[in-house]
Structure 1
Amino acid sequence: MARELGISSEPLHGWYRKAKTDRAVAKPVRRVDSVGREDLKRLRKENREQQQMIETLKKATAFFVKENDR
């Protein structure tokens, strides 16, 4: 390839390594369509509800442990 371009292979290898590194580091850009937005909204709501349930269960567990120790 370098011969076809009329350059030495060293710069070509350097460019290849840099491009490979840049591609590995770059984050892909994702567009979210309306269905994706609705799913995200639903999942966030579900996550909030589950976090609230976890907190309630933690408090209930602490209460019953305390009551059991009496």
Structure 2
Amino acid sequence: MRMVQEHRGEYPSLWAAIESIAPKIGCVPQTLHDWVKREEIDGGQRDGLTSSERERLKQLERENKELRRANDILKAASAFFAQAELDRRLKS
């Protein structure tokens, strides 16, 4: 990514620089472009979620999913025990 930044001015566009440099480092242009964008976002030069913010978001989404699953289990258990209590009262 540093190579792209250093040679960016030698090309008419960022994409032209990326297309020229990508084969030299052994990757496809789109991959290098993604890396450059990520570096610009992390460096505050481009809008978007930083890598740490994206990781935190993923972590919160996983936690949210686990909590929803636990909540569903608790709801099912509550309904089961409520039904069992009703059945017990009806038999008495």
TM-score category of the 2 structures, normalised to the smaller one: 0.5 to 0.7
**Distance in 2 between the 1:50 and 1:43 partners?**
10
CA distance in 1, matches of 2:73, 2:83: 15
1:46 aligns with 2:91: no
Kindly tell me the number of residue pairs found equivalent between the two proteins: 41
Give TM-score, length-normalised by structure 2.
0.43
Identity %: 37
Q: CA RMSD in A?
A: 0.9
The equivalent residue for 1:57 is: 74
Unaligned segments of structure 1, at least 5 residues? 1-29
Structure with more contact order per residue of length (Cα contacts < 8 Å, sep ≥ 6): 2
**Shift of the alpha carbon at 1:57?**
0.5
- Long gaps (5+) in structure 2: 1-46, 88-92
Q: Which runs of 4+ in 1 moved over 4 A?
A: none
